[in-house]
Structure 1
Amino acid sequence: MIDTITLPERILWLAFGLGSVFGAVAQHSRFCPMGAIADIVNMRDWRRMRMWLLAIAVAVLGSAALHSSGRIDLARSIYRSAGFPWLAHVIGGATFGFGMVLASGCAARTLVRIGGGSLKAMVVLLIVGLFAEMTMRGALAGLRLDLSERGSAAFAAGHDLPALLIALGLPADLALAGCALAIGSALLAFVFLPRQRLAPGSALAGLCIGLSVVGGWYVSGALGYLAEDPETLQEAFVATNSGRMESLSFVAPQAYLLELLMLWSDSNRHLSFAVASLLGVLAGSLLSAVGSGSFRWEGFRDLEDTANHIVGAALMGFGGVLGLGCTIGQGISGVSTLALGSFVTLAAIVGGALLALYYQDRRAQSAA
């Protein structure tokens, strides 16, 4: 039996390791969901999108396998919470998607760029963290709650794809396995289309990123699960901010990091799974950039570039919290739970990014 005194440290080190793998792989492979969307719009290049889709497929299949084996329970994640705040998912996702284009990358890409030497990405992190904190507990919290309550629906069957199939009469295990196999197989078939086969290096990167999300569920949901916490005598998930099972996500954790740094002497503040994985991404991307010789200091180009990044970061901080995640938090981790809200948020993120790319194109045309 694992000693509960050392369990939090083990969870944190494992989270740091998963984040390091994610950061190193993302830096080396140029993994970037925003860049994937932009590549399709600007160059009809699907390579980075296929990498992202492969990561989603691996996360969906791996998470379903863990759930089916009884090691984790996907219903214990925040993505399958009670209620279906569809308006928050739509507005939050679209706001985040628009913001990530202005800020030259999503929350995860921001961390990777910091590891590669980008000072403007550091500014983005600070502003994302600030607005995420304001949206969770500050001046924007009221707006978040209002949007979540106004546009909320409740389905008797549940708020995930397997629950809808269960309502139709399918057994629970078969419903989840069927959904995961259908989605995962469809994505894999698209990723490895003969005409545009994914390069081995990109395929390996997508596999590693997907597995890092699966690893996050296993670490927090299996290794970090206590049926009875010695202090509270209730079930608990060790070192998670939400008190529930968590995997990789990078918007709210930026707020948690700033909060921890500012209130370090507060004995009630502790390093969490989310912050440890975030620090791992920074460390992994830094080591990869230095090791490959790609580390370069980068600053803002001009006033417009500065303004775009500041506004984009603010939109990401607000939208990421409102929509309960980012391109990784909802786009991979959330989707891997087969929660309806995650699919809605992911679609809204893509829609917001497309709108921002159109906006940038119109601005460029008018300036020419």
Structure 2
Amino acid sequence: MDLTALLDRLPEPTVLVLGGLTVGILFGAFAQQSRFCLRAAALEFSRRRPADRLPIWLLAFSSALIATQFLALLGEVDTGETRQLASPQSLSGALIGGAMFGTGMVMARGCASRLLVLSATGNLRALLSGLVFAVVAQASLYGALKPLRDWLSGLWTTVDTGGNDLTTFLGMSEASVFLFGGLWLLAGLGFAWRNRSSVWRLAAAIGAGLTVPLALWFTTAMTRQAFDPVQVEGVTFTGPSADMLMLFLSAPFEELGFNSGLVPGVFLGSFFAAFLTRQLMLQGFESGPSMARYLTGAALMGFGGMLAGGCAVGAGITGASLFAVTAWLTLVGIWLSAIVTDHVLAKIPRAHVAALDTFPGGRQSTP
């Protein structure tokens, strides 16, 4: 990607913001149309009732992984310069943070990206939960929760194990990496065929997944052509959400970059996709107990995502596509804790679990 002409006309930070905005708009639109949601996919798997959310997540995940590795093979993405592989990461943070995030995700009925997408369509529950998520993430990054996060992160790091590249630890060849990704893709297509999923929603899921390598591709190009140092970035929401909150509350404390455009881009993309398909609708909390559950879940996600170094998309798709050990630990932790939390909530009497729709049989539905 040659950005020379654009960089000659615009300042580097502006180009980075525009790149983040473009990627965000695409992700927001595709995620809204596909109803991409890790929480919903995990619950379908937990209840052994695979419908359309599981194949949607699998297709987004596998398309991101395969395309990222293909671009890395061509030399268009420099995976070694990503935060997940270029610097020491926390293994203990991945395990603990992933478990916290998965629990919070079920309680809040959506991960960080899903809350952002739903907020743009008029879901006030998601909007308030997203704000709590961002506040707690910011407190974990720079505020009162930072000492606790630092302590938990330092218990076990990749410095102790000699790196964070899973392909190196497992001795995976390039062929085995693509075979691995292909198996996930086939699984997604198999579930989609079995459940006769909408072709448009499946295509949108793949589109959402492809925004991850697109982000890596763009930021890699910027590292090679920009004068100032640029971090190679995928798509993630924990850190950017916290930074966006501070951008609105105070003067910017750091230079604007790719992530500065990502969050507003997702909001815009989701809004316009919902507007064009007539899916905008105001929704609010239905009771006090449900509000408490949503906000508690959002707080758990805010701290857990910052502790783990990524959210369901940042670690679960971007990091996993890079084959970062910590990202895979986070992803496994999210899935397992989401399944456990779902089973625990299913045993709570219906009267104490407000505002939950039901499957036949009385269990809570996906959003």
Instruction: Please say whether Structure 1 and Structure 2 have the same fold, judged by a TM-score greater than 0.5.
Output: yes
In structure 2, what is the Cα distance between the partners aligned to 1:158 and 1:269?
Answer: 29
Superposition pairs for residues 17-36 of structure 1, below 5 Å? Answer: 17-36=22-41
Code of the residue aligned with 2:178 in structure 1: it is L
Code of the residue aligned with 1:70 in structure 2: it is G
TM-score normalised by structure 1 residue count: 0.88
Code of the residue aligned with 2:278 in structure 1: it is G
Q: Given the superposition, is the C-alpha separation of residues 332 and 103 from structure 1 closer, same or farther in structure 2, using an over 3 Å criterion?
A: same
Question: Please, which runs of 5 or more residues in structure 2 have no aligned partner?
Answer: 354-367
Q: Which of the numbers 42, 49, 55 marks the counterpart of 1:50?
A: 55
TM-score normalised by structure 2 residue count: 0.88
Superposition pairs for residues 5-20 of structure 1, below 5 Å? Answer: 5-20=10-25
- Any conservation in 2 of the 1:260–1:270 contact (CA below 8 Å)? no
Residue 191 of structure 1 aligns with which residue?
188
Superposition pairs for residues 106-121 of structure 1, below 5 Å? Answer: 106-121=111-126
In structure 2, what is the Cα distance between the partners aligned to 1:50 and 1:89?
Answer: 25
- Any conservation in 1 of the 2:34–2:56 contact (CA below 8 Å)? no
In structure 1, what is the Cα distance between the partners aligned to 2:117 and 2:351?
Answer: 32
In structure 2, what is the Cα distance between the partners aligned to 1:325 and 1:291?
Answer: 31
Q: Given the superposition, is the C-alpha separation of residues 22 and 228 from structure 1 closer, same or farther in structure 2, using an over 3 Å criterion?
A: closer
Code of the residue aligned with 1:161 in structure 2: it is L
- Any conservation in 2 of the 1:157–1:164 contact (CA below 8 Å)? no
Code of the residue aligned with 2:200 in structure 1: it is G
Superposition pairs for residues 10-159 of structure 1, below 5 Å? Answer: 10-42=15-47, 44-154=49-159, 158-159=163-164
Q: Cα offset for 1:156?
A: 6.2
Of 38-47 and 118-127, the range deviating more from structure 2: 38-47
In structure 2, what is the Cα distance between the partners aligned to 1:339 and 1:96?
Answer: 18
In structure 1, what is the Cα distance between the partners aligned to 2:34 and 2:208?
Answer: 11
- Any conservation in 2 of the 1:19–1:279 contact (CA below 8 Å)? yes
- Any conservation in 1 of the 2:84–2:164 contact (CA below 8 Å)? no
CA offset digits 1:228-284 (Å, max 9, x no partner):
736xxxxx11xxxxxx211111112111011111123x5x54433113111111001
Q: Secondary structure at the match of 1:225?
A: helix
CA offset digits 1:102-150 (Å, max 9, x no partner):
1110000001111110112111121111110111111111111111111
Confirm whether residue 180 of structure 1 aligns to residue 177 of structure 2.
Answer: yes
Q: Cα offset for 1:357?
A: 0.9
CA offset digits 1:31-72 (Å, max 9, x no partner):
111111223334602421111111111111111122121222
CA offset digits 1:138-175 (Å, max 9, x no partner):
11111111111112354665321222255xxxxxxxx4
Code of the residue aligned with 2:165 in structure 1: it is D
Superposition pairs for residues 243-322 of structure 1, below 5 Å? Answer: 244-264=231-251, 266=252, 268-322=253-307
Question: Please, which runs of 5 or more residues in structure 1 have no aligned partner?
Answer: 167-174, 231-235, 238-243
In structure 2, what is the Cα distance between the partners aligned to 1:287 and 1:44?
Answer: 32
Residue 209 of structure 2 aligns with which residue?
210
In structure 1, what is the Cα distance between the partners aligned to 2:301 and 2:20?
Answer: 23
In structure 1, what is the Cα distance between the partners aligned to 2:153 and 2:243?
Answer: 22
- Any conservation in 2 of the 1:95–1:315 contact (CA below 8 Å)? yes
Q: Given the superposition, is the C-alpha separation of residues 219 and 176 from structure 1 closer, same or farther in structure 2, using an over 3 Å criterion?
A: farther
- Any conservation in 2 of the 1:55–1:210 contact (CA below 8 Å)? yes
What RMSD, in angstroms, separates the aligned Cα atoms of the two structures? 2.2
Q: How many equivalent pairs are there? A: 346
Code of the residue aligned with 2:270 in structure 1: it is S
Q: Which of the numbers 224, 227, 230 marks the counterpart of 1:229?
A: 227
Q: Determine what percentage of the aligned residue pairs are the same residue.
A: 29
Q: Given the superposition, is the C-alpha separation of residues 157 and 149 from structure 1 closer, same or farther in structure 2, using an over 3 Å criterion?
A: closer
- Any conservation in 2 of the 1:191–1:197 contact (CA below 8 Å)? no
